[in-house]
Amino acid sequence: MAIASKKRGKFITLEGMDGAGKSTHIPTIIAALKARGIEVVSTREPGGTRLGEQLRALLLHDAMHAETETLLMFAARREHIETVITPALKRGAYVLSDRFTDATYAYQCGAKGVSASKIKQLEKWVQGKLQPDLTLLFDVPVEISMKRLITAREPDKFEREDAKFFEKLRSAYLTRAEENPTRFRVIDANQALDKVKVIVENIVSTI
């Protein structure tokens, strides 16, 4: 008897500058998918595995060369893909990752100047053909994101960067979205939380 192969799950990623509010919407997305009977694996980068979380602690708090940072992001990503993302997608689960490779293009390339072609090589090596099916980009003006960060917990290395860094970051993210219009949905996150929630629910209902 032939065994029916399980349909591959979907890979959803959340992106945006620090302070854009993307992580606030994770419970909404999980609830919306679960209501449809879908298994959801919620994870994050850098992190998502034991090794990845150890690398995260270094990445967020230790000063290092931007290329070292890029390599460590991809080392954590390799482990994450191998042990969490691919197995989950194969069994039909949806994977919701708070950041993925678009963050490397935005932070390490756009804001810190690492060459896009080096990142592309690592992307190909580490991910093969794996790409998110849907990326929600939470967009806010730089002054709003910086204002939100002042009132948040003790800032990490990235959150302590200046307005110029955040401007480059925002512009890199918006360029990524323009270059990948079928995968990206840009959300104006500079509005009331309940309005953003409705927008997020509507988008997720389409995947």
Distance from C-alpha of 165 to C-alpha of 34, rounded to nearest angstrom: 37
Least separation, in Å, of the C-beta of 92 and ligand TMP?
Answer: 25
Nearer to ligand TMP, 2 or 154 (CB): 154
Question: Are residues 67 and 114 in contact, defined by beta-carbon separation less than 8 angstroms?
Answer: yes
Least separation, in Å, of the C-beta of 18 and ligand TMP?
Answer: 5
Question: Should residue 21 be labelled a site residue for ligand TMP when binding is judged by CB under 6 A?
Answer: no
Sign of the torsion angle spanned by Cα atoms 27, 76, 125, 93: negative
How many residues in the shown chain lie near ligand TMP by CB under 6 A? 13
Distance from C-alpha of 38 to C-alpha of 93, rounded to nearest angstrom: 7
Binding mask 120-159 for ligand TMP (x = CB under 6 A): --------------------------------------x-
Query: According to CB under 6 A, which one of 55, 72, 85, 103 is a site residue for ligand TMP?
Result: 103
Over the Cα atoms of the chain, what is R_g? 17
Binding region for ligand TMP (CB under 6 A) out of 3-11, 39-47, 128-136, 186-194: 39-47
Task: Report the run of H or E that residue 59 belongs to, with start and end.
Answer: helix 50-61
Return phi, psi of residue 187, to 5°. Answer: -110, 130
Query: According to CB under 6 A, which one of 98, 126, 137, 196 is a site residue for ligand TMP?
Result: 98
